[in-house]
Structure 1
């Protein structure tokens, strides 16, 4: 029986990874601090949801025995320097130590495209430090570095489409920032391929892969795409740098998780695009889907005829 622990299994990417591995016969453990957050995966027969705070000392040591592998998905996009350090550095350190104690050697770590110890944002620098300490841990490690991830249930294209359904125009910071968006199902497939010895499981140990789609688009183009495929397309108004900083600061002060932060703006000063120095999804046997072939399935409803055409355009999988 193949058994995997998935940290961050209740999140957007985690839900898709759980469904993918469940279909492949894995037995999955998903820890969560609040059981209500696990509603999307609790219905899967081979998924066991346990209430646990993996940040607490000893929690991972109690969860890990009996597992064959770990998929680590925990990450934050917003927060203080201390919060980034806790999520992206301290937690991987705890995980590596707990895995050694439990005798669990195999780890697939989902990081992010463009992380760098010299990066302009706290997010990028903390993710790079987390990667570095996992490489030094001696675990059988595979690192996946996705660009921005889209798909059913995302808070990316869906958000842009919703904004255009109510706003007369979209004031957009960092409109020229470049991304190479990747479908969440392709990321989940990359996790599965990395874990399966019959596919690329053995070859992927010690490797880092850039998980990016085939299309390079600016943020403005992605907003326009979301509007066109969603309910309506509104004009995009690029914001000057100073205005963008003010907007991001105001969003940080609003209740709840901000839509944008100053750290996000800093990250977007660097293109989020694969540079070809690392292997990509094709090295794992995956042909990444084009965004225009996937997004129409969940952004708006343009009629049965268009939906059928979109289906026919989908690449073979």
Structure 2
């Protein structure tokens, strides 16, 4: 009998000293973990150094070669995983995506770094948004330098702690799937472990340099189907889509553009309309296997945890904003809608008349207004306890002084029970899941 052929032995890994910029971010953390597991010495490039293996860097200010001199001694590979999806006044795209990385790349040549891995973005070479332009400018700056480089261009990256995947899971957990009108746009999300593995393999000094690789998953889907996959992966029953017309999305994007840091803005809306797909052939060669498809993104063992996070992420704001509306609407009705004489007559029933009743009415309006604004801007467990005490106090006063309301057919007092239930849930909620 012929002896079964064994796969050729893998080439032993030569430990390298690697600087990973953006190491505290979602993608940077996954890259650091994979490189460390492979035996490399990882230096974490972060804004605030707290560990012995940390290097303090800040692309907002480190935008010249002078800023990097002396900091790259002994570094053999640099991985740039710094990236933001929405810029702010303090963190502009041009500094974080272009000028900071370009200065770092030039300093790498001067310091004798052997190879640079640049994490760009799928579509950076053709996109017209400020995000894409800044990413492409850094890619171009790197390609002009006399140094070995690899540029990886990921699509939407899925991971349990990823911002985009977290948002998509939140949308997928809603009773109806909100599906914006995107026409024929398609997406090809990639699993974060595949991105980290691609970085590890692109570092290999025996691998040819000067490649731009689309880092995409195996599944090309519409936005609606992508949400349906996430919903199924979290163990939720199928539900119907809720079409969101393009004009509504455009208006929401304009409003989001006026609020710093909001992910939906005119640029990201255009990026959604354009879709995000690529050819997985080069990534398959790099990994030595096909990338994962979206159906396998959420392992069954993680479904319950991710489902709980997704539901909690929109449940808490929904309850909070509902309470805010109740308090603010009550203040408005008391001040400007309900007849003043009728309000004063009710206060007479609890023993308040004349100037005292007027003062009590105005104080109640101010208190309701303060409670509503606090729900929006100062939510806390102490606030929920205070509101519960107020609701119980109001209920007790009405039960004693105005008992007719207990048997009122519209149930004005009984409706305090669901309000108290909401407050109990908010008091019991842990810190809201954001990642």
Shift in Å, 1:83: 1.6
Which has more strand, going by share of residues? 1
Moved more, 123-132 or 187-196: 123-132
CA distance in 2, matches of 1:234, 1:259: 25
Residue of structure 1 in register with 2:272 after alignment = 268
Q: Deviations over 1:113-139 (max 9, x none)?
A: 1212x5232222222221111100122
Distance 1:163 1:172, change over 3 A: same
Which structure 2 residues correspond to residues 1-317 of structure 1 after superposition, within 5 A? 1-35=15-49, 48-57=53-62, 58-79=66-87, 83-116=92-125, 118-165=126-173, 167-176=174-183, 177-197=185-205, 201-203=206-208, 205-230=209-234, 232=236, 233-254=238-259, 257-275=261-279, 279-297=282-300, 300-301=303-304
CA distance in 2, matches of 1:54, 1:220: 36
Is the CA contact (8 Å cut-off) linking 1:175 and 1:220 kept in structure 2? no
Is the CA contact (8 Å cut-off) linking 1:6 and 1:14 kept in structure 2? yes
CA distance in 1, matches of 2:263, 2:39: 37
Distance 1:283 1:23, change over 3 A: closer
Specify the SS of the correspondent of 2:163.
coil
Is the CA contact (8 Å cut-off) linking 1:68 and 1:104 kept in structure 2? yes
Is the CA contact (8 Å cut-off) linking 2:17 and 2:75 kept in structure 1? yes
Shift in Å, 1:298: 6.8
CA distance in 1, matches of 2:92, 2:225: 31
Is the CA contact (8 Å cut-off) linking 1:13 and 1:184 kept in structure 2? yes
Shift in Å, 1:28: 0.9
Moved more, 214-223 or 59-68: 59-68
Is the CA contact (8 Å cut-off) linking 2:77 and 2:114 kept in structure 1? yes
Which has more helix, going by share of residues? 2
Is the CA contact (8 Å cut-off) linking 1:123 and 1:267 kept in structure 2? no
Is the CA contact (8 Å cut-off) linking 2:202 and 2:286 kept in structure 1? no
RMSD (Å) for aligned C-alpha atoms: 2.6
Distance 1:55 1:137, change over 3 A: farther
Is the CA contact (8 Å cut-off) linking 1:180 and 1:214 kept in structure 2? yes
Give me the TM-score of the superposition, normalised by structure 2. 0.60
Relative contact order (alpha carbons < 8 A, sep ≥ 6): 1 or 2 greater? 1
Q: Deviations over 1:31-75 (max 9, x none)?
A: 211357xxxxx6xxxx81233324434443232111111001111
CA distance in 2, matches of 1:121, 1:226: 27
Shift in Å, 1:10: 1.0
Larger Rg: 2
Specify the SS of the correspondent of 2:262.
coil
Give me the TM-score of the superposition, normalised by structure 1. 0.80
Unaligned runs of at least 5 residues, structure 1 = 37-41, 303-317
Aligned length: 285
